[in-house]
Amino acid sequence: MKHVALFATPATVASRAFQRELAYRAIGVDVEAQPCGGVVDAIEQGDEILAEALVRSHVEALKRRMPHPEAAILGCTHYPLMEKVFQDALGAGVKVYSQANLVAEALADYLVRRPQFHGSGTQSRFLTTGDPSYVSNKATQFLRRKITFEAA
């Protein structure tokens, strides 16, 4: 793969964190980052129509700079909720990598190599860098069961 699209929040794109990591791991790959302003807010507000319109607009903006991406990375925890929209807007020939799937695969691999970290699976703890009350309410609404977040 030579042409990779990165979709992330404006702050994440500005931090260049993904671009730096990809430069270390994928030498010679052209990465085009698209800041996706408004998508997280639309998702959190439950406005699927706006979120879909914003995703399509951001994909079009990226495609003006990189007309034929071969792969795309969804670099935000919220974006897997819109993965089908990203895939549809990018086209069937573009492989979409969701952060949720990548993190889950990396964690599974880590736990295979370090079985001493296996837990019982009966206790969960949820941390956020955001407002714990706000995030708890949104998570509870989304998952339809009580979820309580703590400050990270």
pLDDT tens readout for residues 40-56: 999 988 899 999 999 99
The pTM score is 0.77
Same domain for 14 and 58, yes or no, is yes
- Cross-strand partners of 128: 151
Same domain for 139 and 89, yes or no, is no
pLDDT at 79 over 80: yes
The domain in which residue 125 lies consists of: 121-152
pLDDT tens readout for residues 54-66: 999 999 999 999 9
Residue 56 lies in a domain: yes
137 versus 100: which is more confidently predicted? Answer: 137
Same domain for 88 and 21, yes or no, is yes
Number of structural domains found in the chain: 2
* SS3 call for 4: strand
Same domain for 129 and 59, yes or no, is no
* Summary count for the chain: helices (H), strands (E): 7, 6
Under 8 Å between Cβ of 58 and 67: no
Same domain for 55 and 128, yes or no, is no
Q: What is the pLDDT of residue 82?
A: 95
Same domain for 90 and 146, yes or no, is no
